[in-house]
Amino acid sequence: MAGARERARTELTAEIVRLAREQVERDGATNLSLRAIARDLGMVSSAVYRYFASRDELLTRLIIDSYERLGAAAEAADAAVRRSDHRGRWRAIAHAIRDWAIANPSEYALLFGTPVPGYAAPQDTIAPASRYTLVLLNLLADVEAAGGRAAGRLAPPLKRDLAKVRATLGLAVDETLMAHGMAAWAALMGAINLELFGHLHNVVDTPGARFDLVVEQEAERLFAGTTVARRTSNRA
Amino acid sequence: MAGARERARTELTAEIVRLAREQVERDGATNLSLRAIARDLGMVSSAVYRYFASRDELLTRLIIDSYERLGAAAEAADAAVRRSDHRGRWRAIAHAIRDWAIANPSEYALLFGTPVPGYAAPQDTIAPASRYTLVLLNLLADVEAAGGRAAGRLAPPLKRDLAKVRATLGLAVDETLMAHGMAAWAALMGAINLELFGHLHNVVDTPGARFDLVVEQEAERLFAGTTVARRTSNRA
DNA sequence: AGCAAACGAGAGCAGTGCTCTTGCATCTCC
DNA sequence: GGAGATGCAAGAGCACTGCTCTCGTTTGCT
C-alpha cells in the first residue's frame, strides 16, 4: 500500500501548505503567491495546480488549519482549569485566544480580518470555525448547570434565533445567558482586533492591561449572579 | 487666479478619488487598480502617477476620507440628542457607527479590517482616525461632569497611559471611567466586526437585535452609576 | 519671447493567477 | 508481464497588476 506516487503526493501537499503558511506569516495573506511557492519547491508554477486547484483553495486550507489551531489552544487552556472555577476558565480561554492572536497575527487576520471580496467561505470551514466558540458555549452550559442565570429581557427575534442555536447544538443554555455570552465574545474579539490592528496607537501603550480589563469586566457581567464554588483561588 | 491647469488638476484628482472609491465599494480594497482607473479616465496608466505617487498614497487618501465620513456620521447622531440624555447619546452614536458600517462595508473594512502588511498608516491619518473616538470621549466627559463615576480598580500601567491620554486631549475624564468607555468601545467594534465579516452566519440571523443587546449592556455598564437626568424618555 | 515646469503617451520590467499542450513516469487491469 | 489509462512536471502563453523611464507637447511664469 501507500504507493510511491500517493506518498509523494501527500508529502508535496504538506510541503506546499507549510511554505504557504510561512509566506502568510511573513508577508500576510494578500501576498500569498503560488508562483513563489513553486519557486521554493523547485517546480514550475503550473505544477502546483495539480495539488490545489486555485489560490483560494490553498487559502481555504490554511484557514481551516488556523481555526483548528485556535480551537485547540482554547480547549487546552480551558482544560487546564478546575471545572467548577468558571471565572478562571473564562479568563484562561480569553487569554488563550488573545495570546494565540498575538503570537500568530497573520493567521488571526486571516480568520477575523477583512474577508476577501470574491471569497465565500466554503462549507468545510464552518465546523473548524465553530470549534473555539464551542469552548465558550460549553463554559456557558456549565455556568447554567451550576445555577447561573443572566438578567434582562431579549428581543423576541433574537431569542428565537438563540433557541434555534441551542436546539441545533444540543446545549442546555438559557437564551439570555447565551446572549450575554455572545456580548462577551464580541467584546473579547473587539479588544483583540483593536489591539492587533493598531487602533490603539497614540492612545494606549499597554494593550495587555486594557485587555485584562475587558476580560474582567465581562467576567463580572457573566458570573455576577453565579452562586457556586465557595470562593477559592480565583486569581489567574 | 485658479489657472486652467490648476483647476484641471484638482478636478482630475477628485475624479480619480471618486472612481477609486467606486472601485473599492464594488470590489474591495485589495482589488483597487490604478490601471482600471486610468482606463475609466481614458488615460494611460502612467499618467495617473502624476496625481498619486503610488497605490498606497491613493488608498491613504481614501482612508482619510472614510474616517472623516464616519466621524461626521457619529457627530451628527450625537448632536441630534439632548445633551443631558447620556444614554440616548450613547445609543445614537453606537447605532450611527454601526449603520455607517452596514451602509459602507468596504469602507469600514478599509478602516478596521486587516491592515495591509507593508502599509504603515501615515501621520495624516491619525487625526481623522480619532474623530469618531473623540465623540465617545466627549460623551464620557459629559457623564463625568454630571457626576457619573465608574467602579473598579485599574492596573497601574493602564492608569498611567490613560492619564497621559487625558492630559494630551485636555479631557476631564476619570481614568476608570475612561477605561470602561474603552471597553464599551471594544465591545461595540467587536459586535460590528462579527456581524459585518460574517462570523455570525449559522449562528444568529438577526444581528441587528444582537447589536442592540450589546449597546444596551454597555449602556447599563457605563451609566448605571450616573445620577442625573430625571428618568424621562430614554428610548431610542 | 523664452524657459522651466507640468503633463500625457508609450514602451518596458517584473511580478501575479491561471490555462493548455506535450511528453514522460507510474500505476492498474487484463 | 505487457498495454492502456492516469498522474504529473514542464513550458509557453494570456491577461492582468504596480511602477519607471523617456520623449514630445502643452501650459504658465518671468
Convert the pLDDT of each residue in B9-36 to its tens digit.
999 999 999 999 999 999 999 999 999 9
A198 touches chain B (CB under 8 A): yes
Residue B87 confidence class, pLDDT cut points 50, 70, 90: very high
Average pLDDT of span B58-74: 97
Between B56 and A228, where is the model more confident?
A: B56
Q: Is the pLDDT confidence value at B207 over 80? A: no
Tell me, what's the ipTM?
0.90
Give nearest nucleotide to A41 (CA–C1'): D9
pLDDT at A80: 98
Chain A residues near residue B101 by CB distance under 8 angstroms: none
pLDDT at A227: 44
Written as nine digits, the cell of B159 is 492608569
Q: Are A231 and A84 in contact (CB under 8 A)?
A: no
Decide: CB of B117 under 7 A of nucleic strand D: no
Q: B193 CA, D11 C1': separation in Å?
A: 45
Q: Is A233 left (phi over 0), alpha (psi -120 to 50) or beta?
A: beta
pLDDT at B225: 55
Name the residue among B115, B180, B185 with its Cβ closest to that of A198. Answer: B115
Chain A residues near residue B27 by CB distance under 8 angstroms: 117
pLDDT at B194: 92
pLDDT at B104: 96
With b for 16 or more beta-carbon neighbours within 10 A and e for fewer, the B48-75 pattern comes to beebbeebeebbbbbbbbbbebbbebbb
Q: A20 CA, C25 C1': separation in Å?
A: 27
Average pLDDT of span A180-192: 92
Lowest mean pLDDT among A25-39, A186-200, B44-58, B146-160: B146-160
Contacts of range A28-37, beta carbons closer than 8 Å, 24 or more positions apart: A28/A106, A28/A109, A28/B114, A28/B116, A28/B117, A29/A59, A29/A62, A29/A106, A29/A109, A29/A110, A29/A113, A29/B114, A30/B30, A30/B114, A30/B116, A30/B117, A31/B117, A32/A58, A32/A59, A34/A58
Q: B12 CA, C8 C1': separation in Å?
A: 13
Check B194 against A214: CB less than 8 A apart: no
Chain B residues near residue A28 by CB distance under 8 angstroms: 114, 116-117
Give me the residue label for grid cell 457556586.
A228
Find, among B19, B27, B25, the residue nearest to B58 by Cα. B19
What element of type H or E holds B207? helix B207-223
pLDDT at B234: 39
Sign of the Cα torsion B64, B173, A219, B87 reads negative
Decide: CB of B40 under 7 A of nucleic strand D: no
- Cβ burial, residue A218 (10 Å; 0-12/13-18/19+): buried
Q: A2 CA, C29 C1': separation in Å?
A: 19
Q: Is the pLDDT confidence value at A10 over 50? A: yes
Chain A residues near residue B29 by CB distance under 8 angstroms: 114
Residue A94 confidence class, pLDDT cut points 50, 70, 90: very high
Mean pLDDT of chain B: 88
Decide: CB of A14 under 7 A of nucleic strand D: no
Written as nine digits, the cell of A101 is 492572536
B155 touches chain A (CB under 8 A): yes
Q: Is the pLDDT confidence value at A103 over 70? A: yes
Mean pLDDT of chain A: 87
Percentage of chain A lying above the pLDDT 90 cut = 57
Work out how many CB contacts closer than 8 A connect A with B.
Answer: 167
Percentage of chain A lying above the pLDDT 70 cut = 92
Q: Is the pLDDT confidence value at A53 over 70? A: yes
Q: Are B180 and A177 in contact (CB under 8 A)?
A: no
Chain B residues near residue A214 by CB distance under 8 angstroms: 183, 186-187
What's the gap in Å between the CA of A194 and the closest CA on chain B? 7
Q: Are B150 and A216 in contact (CB under 8 A)?
A: no
Question: What is the residue type of B158?
Answer: L
Average pLDDT of span A70-93: 96
SS (H, E, C) B114-130: CCCCCCCCCHHHHHHHC
What's the gap in Å between the CA of A183 and the closest CA on chain B? 6
Distant-in-sequence, close-in-space partners of B97: CB < 8 Å, separation ≥ 6: B70, B73, B74, B132, B188, B192
Distances in whole angstroms, Cα of residue B190 to Cα of each of A70, B107, B214: 18, 16, 10
Query: Which residue in chain A has the smallest CA separation from B204?
Result: A161
DSSP string, A115-166: PPTT----GGGHHHHTHHHHHHHHHHHHHHHTT----S---HHHHHHHHHHH
What's the gap in Å between the CA of B1 and the closest CA on chain A? 41
Name the residue among A157, A189, A212 with its Cβ closest to that of B194. Answer: A189
Find, among A139, A158, A163, the residue nearest to A226 by Cα. A139
Check B158 against A121: CB less than 8 A apart: no
Decide: CB of B33 under 7 A of nucleic strand D: yes
Question: What is the residue type of A116?
Answer: V
Average pLDDT of span B81-96: 95
B22 touches chain A (CB under 8 A): no
Lowest mean pLDDT among A20-34, A71-85, A218-232, B189-203: A218-232
User: To 5 degrees, how large is the angle CA A123–CA A195–CA B54?
Assistant: 80
Q: A127 CA, C28 C1': separation in Å?
A: 37
